[in-house]
């Protein structure tokens, strides 16, 4: 028996004695767990909280894996493993919907384009880390026991561009004014329940609201010892604490 069903059924003992029999008989709401209809309101709250929790976990895994991918240009095995991890979290891995990395956000709608963008990003950056510090629920629905939730997150990105590309040409830095920068971002993500209790990412949109150039010191930089890898020592091994087997 699922945890959700156990929680819903356990509430019957407390709730039933206080509910008039007529009201109980008039209750026609259905439940997704198979619990009695009287427990539908409680189940709805539990399902909503579960969708918020699982949805935020999924997008945080995606963001963390993409942060790591940027530092794996010299490790093709781990690059591919992390790339597959992100794609497996999408509703349609062959046609992921990502709108990121440009102003305004440009779409990435197939696996080949996704691979190209992140291969280029791994070459362009010495270091780049995006953090989302807060998620709010923008919309939620639970129709025929299939949940869809839209989350809106606020965060920032710290980055250091590489000095040159492997062929010796200058690294394009786009709209940034310095090779070292701090961006303030908004992230919108749509999470859908593809089968009972299985959630996937349908769409990810990143908006860069503002970008601040920081002093770029090619010799010393601003970070002394970031947790994943020293951005000024490209040969340092990248730590890979993310468990890619977890779902």
Residue 58: which CATH number? Answer: 3.10.450.50
Q: Looking at the 3D structure of the chain, how many domains does it have? A: 1
Predicted confidence (pLDDT) at residue 225 exceeds the cutoff of 60: no
Look at 8-12, 153-157, 201-205 and tell me which has the smallest mean pLDDT.
8-12
121 domain residue, yes or no: yes
Residue 193: which domain range? 22-214
pLDDT confidence bin for 61, thresholds 50/70/90 = very high
Which range is most confident: 115-129, 139-153, 209-223?
139-153
12 domain residue, yes or no: no
225 domain residue, yes or no: no
148 domain residue, yes or no: yes
Average pLDDT, the chain: 81
Report the pLDDT value the prediction gives residue 240, as an integer from 0 to 100.
43
- Tens-digit pLDDT profile for residues 158-189: 999 998 999 999 998 988 889 999 999 999 99
- The residue among 230 and 190 whose pLDDT is bigger is 190
53 domain residue, yes or no: yes
76 domain residue, yes or no: yes
Residues with Cβ within 8 Å of 111's Cβ and at least 6 positions away in sequence, in order, are 87, 93, 94, 95, 96
Q: Averaged over 114-138, what is the pLDDT?
A: 91
246 domain residue, yes or no: no
């Amino acid at each position: 028996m699922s945890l959700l069903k156990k929680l819903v059924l356990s509430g019957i003992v407390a709730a039933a004695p206080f509910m008039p029999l007529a009201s109980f008989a008039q209750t026609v709401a259905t439940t997704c767990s198979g619990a009695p209809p009287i427990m539908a309101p409680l189940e709805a709250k539990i399902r909503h909280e579960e969708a918020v929790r699982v949805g935020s976990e999924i997008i945080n895994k995606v963001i963390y894996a993409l942060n790591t991918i940027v530092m794996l240009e010299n490790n093709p095995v781990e690059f591919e493993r992390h790339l597959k991890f992100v794609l497996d979290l999408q509703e349609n891995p062959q046609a992921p919907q990502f709108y990121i990395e440009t102003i305004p956000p440009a779409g990435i709608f197939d696996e080949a384009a996704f691979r190209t963008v992140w291969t280029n990003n791994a070459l362009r950056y010495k270091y780049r880390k995006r953090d989302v510090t807060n998620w709010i629920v923008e919309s939620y629905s639970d129709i025929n026991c299939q949940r869809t939730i839209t989350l809106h997150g606020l965060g920032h990105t710290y980055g250091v561009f590489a000095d040159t590309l492997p062929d010796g040409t200058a690294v394009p830095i786009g709209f940034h004014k310095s090779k070292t920068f701090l961006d303030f971002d908004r992230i919108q993500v749509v999470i859908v329940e593809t089968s009972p209790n299985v959630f996937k990412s349908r769409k990810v949109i990143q908006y860069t609201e503002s970008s601040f150039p920081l002093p770029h010191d090619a010799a010393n930089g601003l970070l002394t010892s970031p947790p994943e890898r020293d951005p000024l020592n490209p040969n340092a091994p990248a730590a890979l604490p993310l468990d890619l087997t977890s779902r």
